[in-house]
Amino acid sequence: MHFACHGTQDLENPLDSSLILTDGRLKVSDIMRQPDGDNTLDIKKTMSLAFLSACETAKGDKTVPDEAMHLAATLLFAGFRGVVATMCYTRAINDLDGPKIADTFYEYLFKNCDPNSNPPVLPDLRQSAKALHLAVAKLRQETDIPFRRWVPFVHYGL
């Protein structure tokens, strides 16, 4: 799952932290609701990786640093095995950086894929942390990229 949108961390009521979508907010409280029915296990099997190209998705709260109540942690709780997110505290991530990070990230993950082979060769999502590392390293190589532009990107999970 990939989101490229705005995110917000509500420190007063963390359950109201959300991704801001065109049709409204997707709140932590909504994500935490587990689906009902017999297909719950089937749904969880497909939830492997989430990429949150949005601010404040792994921000947390400076006053309680040992607690992880943010969108990335919520997605792990909901069943995703890995989450890419950002820790923006004072400034939003640069709008140009999100697509650059995502392009390099997915290029690495899909480099050996062949969905048409038998059996299909799918991306190894266990490589997502390395893919993010390479994407951030590539961004850092650009001239005059300040620390605050590359440091917010983080990986949780697998």
Q: Which residues are within 8 A (CB) of 149 and not within 5 positions of it... i.e. 6 or more apart?
A: 93, 94, 97, 139
Phi, psi of 49 (to 5 degrees): -140, 135
Question: Are 55 and 91 within 8 A, CB to CB?
Answer: no
Instruction: Give the model confidence (pLDDT) of 2-49 as tens digits.
Output: 998 888 888 888 889 999 999 999 999 998 886 655 544 444 555 689
Q: What is the mean pLDDT of residues 137-154?
A: 85
Kindly tell me if the per-residue pLDDT of 152 is higher than 90.
no
Burial 98-123 (b: 16+ CB within 10 A, else e): bebbbebbbebbeeeeeeeeeeeeeb
Q: Which residue has the higher pLDDT, 45 or 77?
A: 77
Question: What's the mean per-residue pLDDT of the chain?
Answer: 83
pTM above 0.85, yes or no: no
The distance from CA 121 to its chain's CA centroid, rounded to whole angstroms, is 23
pLDDT at 41: 46
Question: Are 44 and 79 within 8 A, CB to CB?
Answer: yes
Sign of torsion over alpha carbons 62, 68, 74, 80 = positive
Q: Which residue has the higher pLDDT, 1 or 69?
A: 1
Kindly tell me if the per-residue pLDDT of 89 is higher than 70.
no
Q: What is the mean pLDDT of residues 144-148?
A: 80
Kindly tell me if the per-residue pLDDT of 117 is higher than 70.
yes
